[in-house]
């Protein structure tokens, strides 16, 4: 596959992967789940999950992707020809397209909310109307679909531009900007009167809330947040150069994602508590509570609250885009490499599919919820489990080592290899299976 594109540098790999990882999962899910499951105690469990279970899965996907330089289906066929493993390849083409469909609906909402903040609709004179805005907006099918179309259109445009000129360039510019923005918002948020309660919510360890559910929540959240189990990281790794250090870029990605999630917590929760509202999850938090807070903050200065609102919705929109492009790329790689479609046709095909399913999700909340649950509670975990089993039990140990140490030339990785391999082969699959099955049993 000589003509295949490659990311240009280590920084490019980390930015693209971190771009995929950093998204709505960090901004609207993480802060809420933390508070619900015991604050700092949960963050501790989450960090352990990240490094002991998620990172080995990221390495597994990286090994498969870079070893083969193929899309998810092609990779399975190259490493295990004629076996049922090709179904894992197919599963991980389909699941990111499903995620793309409903994720883009939310991406579309953030387009509208950026517009609302640019036109200063979260104004102190409007405080009472602001929380109702979300209901009004989502009830207007036309507007929601127009925003979805715009979001998916931008996603498709970047993906169509290619791995280097589209994905790499976009992520390299936006990821550093996202970090600056989230730090600025966090610092501002922590200076609000009453912010202390929000900080307490995030950092006060409450070990009594660490139930078995908290472990399942940590695992699910860290897979979703690191884009694991759906072939995204496998596909991105297939564009990583042979002389790149997979362990270093994987660790860099995981650390960036974790840092961003914690910063998002510090950006959002102090502001929520300062305003005296109970934190809610998901759409309610980002599209109802926060606009209300921006509007109320306006009494102390309309300009500053408008600026913070604009920065915040730019952050959400861009973070969502760097993730949605990674979901679309999986299917585009498959269709163009295995099905002989041009990149343009492959991009257009996935764009249309996601648009149709996205419209169904936008119009029917039950479809949205069903697909979200199907993916985040089931497909992601299943994919992650199978990837670790594939690398730990199906591939030759020597091949895995060869890939993670670049043929033995990376000495630190060679020293770490026994630990990494043990995590991939035993710790990750056993823990995931236990948490997964106990979740299924209720
Ligand atoms: N990691 C992304 C987020 O946190 C979501 C995602 C999931 C992206 C699966 C790609 C694949 O928002």
Is residue 280 very low, low, confident or very high in pLDDT (cuts 50, 70, 90)?
low
Looking at the domain assignment, is residue 396 inside a domain? yes
Q: From CA 353, how far away is CA 369, in angstroms rounded?
A: 18
Burial class (CB in 10 A: 0-12, 13-18, 19+), 171: buried
Helices (H), 5-85: 10-21, 24, 30-36, 40-49, 55-68, 72-79
Q: Is the CB of 189 under 6 A from ligand 1?
A: no
CATH code for the domain of 366: 1.10.4160.10
Count of CB atoms situated within 10 Å of the CB of 80? 16
- Between residues 209 and 369, the one the model is more confident about: 369
208's CB contacts (< 8 A; 6+ apart) are 38
Cβ distance 63 to 240 under 8 Å? no
Domains in the chain, number: 1
Region 322-328: mean pLDDT is 98
pLDDT at 318 over 80: yes
Q: Is the CB of 270 under 6 A from ligand 1?
A: no
pLDDT at 281 over 70: no
The pLDDT assigned to 82 comes to 96
Looking at the domain assignment, is residue 198 inside a domain? yes
pLDDT at 442 over 70: no
As a whole number, the mean pLDDT across the chain is: 93
pLDDT at 268 over 80: yes
Looking at the domain assignment, is residue 420 inside a domain? yes
pLDDT at 11 over 80: yes
pLDDT at 130 over 60: yes
Q: For ligand 1, pick from 65, 225, 256 the residue to mutate: most ligand atoms within 8 Å of CB.
A: 225
Looking at the domain assignment, is residue 5 inside a domain? no
Ligand 1 midpoint to CA 20 (Å): 6
Percentage of the residues of the chain whose pLDDT score is greater than 90: 75
- pLDDT tens figures, 370-396: 999 899 888 999 999 999 999 999 999
Q: Which two tokens stand for residue 384?
A: 């992650």
Domain that holds residue 26: 10-441
The pLDDT assigned to 3 comes to 65
Is residue 322 very low, low, confident or very high in pLDDT (cuts 50, 70, 90)?
very high
Count of CB atoms situated within 10 Å of the CB of 177? 12
Is residue 2 very low, low, confident or very high in pLDDT (cuts 50, 70, 90)?
very low
- Between residues 348 and 294, the one the model is more confident about: 348
Q: Is the CB of 104 under 6 A from ligand 1?
A: no
Strands (DSSP E) contained in 50-131 are none
Q: Which atom of ligand 1 is nearest to the CA of 326?
A: 10
Region 340-349: mean pLDDT is 97
Region 396-410: mean pLDDT is 98
Cβ distance 384 to 392 under 8 Å? no
Count of CB atoms situated within 10 Å of the CB of 393? 11
Residue with tokens 């929601």: 144
Q: Whose CA is nearest to atom 11 of ligand 1?
A: 227
Q: Which two tokens stand for residue 58?
A: 């990221």
Q: Is the CB of 155 under 6 A from ligand 1?
A: no
Is residue 1 very low, low, confident or very high in pLDDT (cuts 50, 70, 90)?
very low
pLDDT at 194 over 60: yes
The pLDDT assigned to 337 comes to 96
Region 73-77: mean pLDDT is 98
Q: Is the CB of 258 under 6 A from ligand 1?
A: no
Q: What is the DSSP string of 132-181?
A: HHHHHHHH-HHHHHHHHHHHHHHHHHHHHH-IIIIIIHHHHHHHHHHHHH
Looking at the domain assignment, is residue 2 inside a domain? no
Q: Which of 325, 317, 338 has its CA nearest to residue 236?
A: 325
SS3 371: helix
Helix or strand run (H / E) with residue 440: helix 428-440
Q: Is the CB of 231 under 6 A from ligand 1?
A: no
Helices (H), 275-339: 282-284, 290-297, 302-338
- pLDDT tens figures, 45-67: 999 999 999 999 999 999 999 99
- Between residues 234 and 204, the one the model is more confident about: 234
Q: Which two tokens stand for residue 293?
A: 């807070």
pLDDT at 286 over 90: no
The pair phi, psi for residue 69, each rounded to 5°, is 50, 40
Region 35-41: mean pLDDT is 82
**Sign of the CA dihedral with 8 first, then 11, 13, and 17 last:** negative
Q: Which two tokens stand for residue 287?
A: 């599209």
Count of CB atoms situated within 10 Å of the CB of 296? 18
Percentage of the residues of the chain whose pLDDT score is greater than 70: 98
Q: Which atom of ligand 1 is nearest to the CA of 226?
A: 1
Q: For ligand 1, pick from 21, 231, 283, 320 the residue to mutate: most ligand atoms within 8 Å of CB.
A: 21
Q: Which atom of ligand 1 is nearest to the CA of 257?
A: 4
pLDDT at 271 over 90: no
């Amino acid at each position: 596959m000589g003509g295949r594109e490659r990311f240009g540098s280590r920084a490019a790999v980390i930015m693209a992967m971190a771009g995929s990882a950093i998204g709505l999962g960090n901004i609207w899910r993480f802060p809420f789940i933390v508070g619900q499951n015991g604050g700092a105690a949960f963050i501790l469990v989450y960090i352990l999950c990240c490094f002991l279970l998620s990172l080995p899965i990221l390495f597994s996907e990286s090994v498969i992707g870079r070893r083969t330089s193929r899309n998810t289906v092609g990779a399975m066929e190259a490493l295990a020809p004629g076996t049922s493993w090709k179904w894992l390849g197919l599963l991980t083409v389909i699941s990111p397209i499903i995620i793309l469909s409903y994720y883009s609906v939310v991406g579309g909402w953030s387009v509208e909310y950026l517009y609302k903040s640019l036109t200063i609709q979260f104004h102190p004179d409007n405080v009472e109307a602001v929380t109702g805005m979300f209901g009004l907006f989502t009830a207007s099918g036309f507007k929601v679909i127009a925003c979805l179309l715009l979001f998916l259109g931008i996603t498709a445009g970047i993906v169509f531009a290619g791995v280097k000129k589209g994905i790499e360039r976009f992520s390299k510019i936006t990821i550093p900007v996202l970090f600056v923005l989230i730090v600025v918002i966090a610092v501002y948020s922590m200076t609000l009167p009453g912010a202390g309660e929000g900080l307490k919510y995030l950092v006060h360890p409450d070990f009594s809330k660490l139930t078995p559910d908290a472990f399942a929540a940590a695992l699910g959240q860290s897979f979703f947040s690191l884009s694991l189990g759906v072939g995204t990281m496998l596909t991105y790794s297939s564009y990583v150069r042979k002389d790149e250090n997979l362990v270093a870029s994987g660790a860099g990605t995981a650390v960036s994602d974790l840092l961003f999630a914690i910063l998002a917590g510090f950006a959002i929760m102090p502001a929520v508590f300062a305003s005296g509202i109970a934190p809610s999850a998901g759409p309610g938090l980002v599209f109802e509570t926060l606009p209300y807070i921006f509007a109320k903050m306006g009494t102390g200065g309309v300009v500053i609250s408008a600026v913070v609102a604009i920065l915040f919705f730019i952050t959400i929109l861009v973070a969502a885009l760097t993730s949605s492009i990674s979901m679309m790329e999986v299917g585009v790689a498959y269709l163009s490499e295995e099905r002989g479609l041009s990149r343009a046709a492959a991009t257009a095909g996935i764009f249309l599919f996601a648009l149709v399913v996205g419209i169904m999700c936008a119009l029917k909340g039950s479809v949205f919820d069903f697909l979200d649950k199907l993916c985040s509670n089931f497909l992601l975990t299943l994919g992650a489990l199978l990837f670790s089993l594939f690398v730990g039990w199906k591939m030759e140990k020597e091949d895995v080592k060869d890939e993670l140490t670049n043929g033995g030339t990376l000495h630190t990785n060679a020293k770490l290899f026994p630990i990494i391999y043990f995590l991939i082969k035993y710790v990750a699959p056993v823990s995931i299976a236990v948490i997964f099955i106990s979740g299924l049993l209720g």
